[in-house]
Amino acid sequence: MKNSTKAERKRARELGFSVGELRLLELIEAMDERLRWAQILGYAAQYAMKWKGLLTEQELETVIQAVSGSIDRDAGEKKRRELLAELRKRVADRDGEVRVALDETS
């Protein structure tokens, strides 16, 4: 994960978050917005193609598979997935540390 900037640390402090929490919040917000637009565009396109009779169900399925392959190759999507994987690892590591600390106090 990149080092935090002074401005980022200040903003996080003002919001009552750590830099990591702020980054996680920003990631979730960005993913939520992308998902919203993907759903809007996907449903609109699917509706229009069916409504106009342009595609059969099989053709629509082929298009959906091709588009999902393009999304998987998207560089921005790859970066988000890497960041999410790193965040998951950090949470798992922290959870393990908390469990060890709790076990030691029991």
Task: Kindly report, residue by residue over 23-72, the tens digit of the pLDDT.
Answer: 888 888 888 888 888 888 887 887 787 777 787 888 888 887 887 777 77
Query: What is the arithmetic mean of pLDDT over 92-98?
Result: 65
Amino acid 58 reads: Q
Domain assignment of residue 97, yes or no? yes
Domain assignment of residue 73, yes or no? yes
Query: What is the arithmetic mean of pLDDT over 92-106?
Result: 60
What local confidence, expressed as pLDDT, does residue 1 receive? 52
- Please tell me the total count of domains within the chain: 1
**Which residue segment(s) compose the domain that 61 sits in?**
20-105
Q: What is the pTM of this model?
A: 0.49
- How far is Cα 9 from Cα 50, in angstroms, rounded to an integer? 50
Domain assignment of residue 5, yes or no? no
